Amino acid sequence: MKRHALGTRLWHWVNLICLVVLFMSGLNISNAHPRLYWGHWGFAPEDAWLHITRFPGWATIPGYYSLASARLWHFLFAWPFAIGLLLFMIGSLANRHFSRDLVTRRSEWRWSAIKADIAKHLKLDFEHAGSKFNFLQKLAYGVVIFILLPLMIFTGLAMSPAMDANWPWLVDMFGGRQSARSIHFLVAWALAGFLVLHIALVLLSGPIGQLRDMITGGAKMEDQP
């Protein structure tokens, strides 16, 4: 078995493209109404809990303000994003990627072990014998895969007016369409922060080898020291 299975590699790159396009088109959509609310309704400036800055063209898709075009880009890439996540989860359960590489052990949750892991990261020591990922990596990937990415999908669905007739419970689960929009916005920026941190750690831990492994799969596990 290679370090990264083919399904993991395909999902990694497809998901990256989808997230970038969704984020940038989402910024364009945000420019149409740059205020966030809680509850089922919201429009007046005095009711907003957050007033968002307008994002420049270089940060949006398309590179000019167009709500209609931005929505087309957003919906187009939302489908491969959602379907890709579902297929990745099914595949990772089938090939035991989740249980083998991402499930944490009880010993890893000891505060002494967590402090040691943090200290190693601060020293830019990313070695971790006996496992593909260390505890902080498992925790980060677990939060992203099982919490943040599904939240993006379900809050996105909850913002659709069609959910009032089809799945009204989904809108109520988030406390209203405006609450779903606020959560959607916050999670999008959390994922953007994760992406920046992920890229920074890749650059610090040997980008050539990391990129090669994520493209070719890397050395077979039994051949690794």
The pLDDT assigned to 216 comes to 87
What domains are defined for the chain? Answer: 6-223 (1.20.950.20)
The pLDDT assigned to 225 comes to 40
Q: Are 61 and 73 in contact (CB under 8 A)?
A: yes
- Could you report the per-residue pLDDT of 131-179, keeping only the tens digit for each? 678 888 899 999 999 999 999 999 999 998 888 778 889 999 999 999 9
The pLDDT assigned to 77 comes to 97
Conformation bin of residue 39: beta by default, left when phi > 0, alpha when psi is -120 to 50: left
The pLDDT assigned to 5 comes to 83
Q: Name residues whose C-beta falls within 8 Å of residue 11's C-beta, 6 or more positions apart in sequence.
A: 84, 85, 87, 88, 91
Average pLDDT per 10 consecutive residues for the chain, totaling 225 residues: 80 95 97 95 92 96 96 96 95 87 87 88 74 85 95 94 85 94 97 94 85 80 46
DSSP notation for 89-126:
HHHHHHTTHIIIIIPPPGGGGSHHHHHHHHHHHHTT--
- pTM value is 0.88
Long-range contacts of 138-141 (CB under 8 A, 24+ apart): 138/101, 138/102, 138/103, 138/104, 138/108, 139/104, 140/194, 141/102
The pLDDT assigned to 220 comes to 64
Instruction: Say if residue 92 is exposed, middle or buried (CB neighbours under 10 Å; 0-12, 13-18, 19+).
Output: buried
Q: Point out which residues pair with 51 in neighbouring strands.
A: 35
In angstroms, rounded to a whole number, what is the distance separating the alpha carbons of residues 191 and 183? 12
The rounded percent of the chain whose pLDDT value lies above 70 is 94
DSSP notation for 41-68:
---SGGG-SEEPPPPPGGGSSSSS--HH
